[in-house]
Chain A
């Protein structure tokens, strides 16, 4: 219990170092919250769709950032061909960024694009029916019937 207050109330400088050290997480959380806010609070259907896309992009950026390493390079092995010595063929994973999250995100990007397409198509259909994209106006029209 003695240590609890120290953990809860970080000194200002510690907090800043904490934020700076993990800035990628803070960026993705900020973006995610912007997206979530737009989906929940915006009245316009297309703004909601944009919010949804920001939300998806935040998670894609999160995945991309976890593959990164300090001082590492792109995962293409140099001199892999023609150099068959035991020492030179050993690959040090620390020197290369992790390509797996990036590959996963290629799939997630495809999914995001497909979702965006379907969402816009639906918004178009809604617009053709109600002649409006504002949610409150549409709900008014539905109630009047």
Chain B
């Protein structure tokens, strides 16, 4: 059984999506349990797979028993073992937390929603686990297409902002496909490990350079790296809370994983950092992304939009951390994939609870909300501390690794950008907390008893509290995570 975990991880949600869409026609109440069971099985398989990788090293899995260069191979190493667990856990927690808001937002579309949700998770898991460059493109589009559907179910402006995301997302995926085409021309292979084996004598080739740049631009578009970020804030702000809670923490992080995979496995670090003399420029781009994301966030008066701009800033952290090209920076970046997925999930679950109760997410709606929803806002405080980077929470540790990596590499501009964004985050969250704590409660619902506690239902609070607790636990066990997992995720030749 455990030898089939890689196939199980992708096949279970895929089949479940089929059953959910049938259940949506026949008996709607079955949709949610099927989705939970499917994601639980996937989570179980992903944890089992990570443990197996920790014990035995890299797991190779051949789909249908075909040999690698011809068939599609799944590779699970420490890097994607960790990302798989993150994807499964985040998707499961958000699914449980989102049930009530799905019932409230679109009671007549329950079947389609859960189908798209589970299909999207399938796509993301497939992207992370696959060892085939073309297979990755197909799964990328599966995740993207379902994502458009999920985002477009939101408020009045959702369709337009999703359409803009669709244009950009399609260009991004097409660029990636084009880059893979160039790689196929020079190597004649689509298997990542096989490409890496054939490439070294071709490092001087212009076609390889073109492939690298085109692939990078493609994934940058998909992850909303600063100059290519324009689609993200509106798409995430106008999405229903159930969708933004899945897409905001995972899509950008999975795309960062794809970038790391391209650098580590397909083009090899030797090519990316030594043959190409571009890392300096990319770290500067990342620094600009961090600063601009922070500034845009500062200009917002809407909770969800502010969170979206924080994501753009965080993408800069991870891209910069990888391109620092040293062990500390990369450790920080990989650790930040885990931390940022949890932090973003925490923020968007808070937003989800607030939207569920007061039907709005602008700053004016937040007045005096601390007295109304103390638990939710308490979780927001933990999430805010983690984003700012206050020690017991996990955000501090990845930022620490990133900063020490930047100092080692002599990239003081990146250090300055990280510190600047931390300071801006302090301002951002204290502004929100000030409004929520000190301002008198506005009377949007027109009732007199506005001062009493009126929390979100328990099924929304429990996942939120688990995540908030997780932020602290991951922070406390950072040392173990780095020593057991992330240390091995980074190629040996990087010091």
- A: which residues have CB within 8 A of B? 36, 39, 45, 48, 52, 55-56, 59, 62-63, 66, 101, 104, 107-108, 111, 114-115, 118-119, 122-123, 125-126, 129-130, 138, 142
Contacts and interface: CB of A to CB of B under 8 A. Distances in A.
B53 interface: no
B221 to A, nearest CB: 12
A124 to B, nearest CB: 9
A59 B148 contact: no
30 contacts: A36-B171, A48-B167, A52-B167, A52-B170, A55-B170, A55-B174, A56-B170, A59-B174, A59-B177, A59-B178, A66-B181, A101-B181, A104-B134, A104-B190, A107-B138, A111-B145, A115-B141, A115-B145, A115-B166, A118-B148, A118-B149, A119-B163, A122-B159, A122-B162, A122-B163, A123-B163, A129-B159, A129-B160, A130-B160, A142-B157
B273 interface: no
Nearest to A135: B160
Contacts of B134: 104, 107
Contacts, number: 66
Given A59-B177, A59-B181, A118-B166, A111 B138 contact: yes
Nearest to B149: A118
A129 B238 CA distance: 15
Given A115-B141, A126-B159, A129-B159, 19 more contacts: A39-B171, A45-B163, A59-B178, A62-B178, A62-B181, A66-B181, A66-B184, A66-B185, A101-B181, A111-B141, A111-B145, A115-B170, A118-B148, A119-B166, A122-B163, A126-B160, A129-B160, A130-B160, A142-B157
A36 B152 CA distance: 24
Contact of B177 (A45, A108, A122, A142): A108
Contacts of B178: 59, 62
Contacts of B206: none
Contacts of A66: 181, 184-185
A126 B170 contact: no
B156 interface: yes
Contacts of A142: 157
A36 B167 CA distance: 10
A4 to B, nearest CB: 16
A125 B156 CA distance: 10
Nearest to B148: A118
Contacts of A130: 160
B239 to A, nearest CB: 13
Interface string B271-296: 00000000000000000000000000
A117 B329 CA distance: 42
A121 B13 CA distance: 26
B38 to A, nearest CB: 22
Interface residues of B, number: 25
Contacts of B185: 66
A45 B160 CA distance: 9
Given A62-B181, A66-B185, A55 B162 contact: no
A122 B171 CA distance: 17
Contacts of A115: 141, 145, 166, 170
A39 B170 CA distance: 11
Interface in B146-162: 148-149, 152, 156-157, 159-160, 162
A63 B138 contact: no
A106 to B, nearest CB: 11
Interface string B209-248: 0000000000000000000000000000000000000000
Contacts of B181: 59, 62-63, 66, 101
A22 to B, nearest CB: 12
A43 to B, nearest CB: 13
B321 to A, nearest CB: 31
Interface string B164-178: 001100110010011
Contact of B145 (A39, A55, A56, A118): A118
Contacts of A48: 167
Which residue among B137, B148, B162, B174 has the maximum number of chain A CB atoms within 10 Å of its CB?
A: B174
B184 A138 contact: no
A45 B137 CA distance: 25
A125 B134 CA distance: 32
The 5 closest A-B pairs by CB, nearest first: A125-B159, A122-B163, A111-B141, A126-B159, A126-B160
Nearest to A119: B166
B76 to A, nearest CB: 24
A36 B159 CA distance: 21
Interface in B98-151: 134, 137-138, 141, 145, 148-149
B166 A101 contact: no
Nearest to B138: A107
Interface in B187-210: 190
A62 B137 CA distance: 16
Contacts of A56: 170, 174
B108 to A, nearest CB: 16
Which residue among A36, A48, A108, A138 has the maximum number of chain B CB atoms within 10 Å of its CB?
A: A108
Given A55-B171, A115-B170, A129-B159, A122 B141 contact: no
Contacts of B174: 55-56, 59
Contact of A122 (B152, B170, B184): B152
A48 to B, nearest CB: 6
Contacts of A119: 163, 166-167
A101 B184 contact: yes
A77 B217 CA distance: 40
B167 A122 contact: no
A58 to B, nearest CB: 8
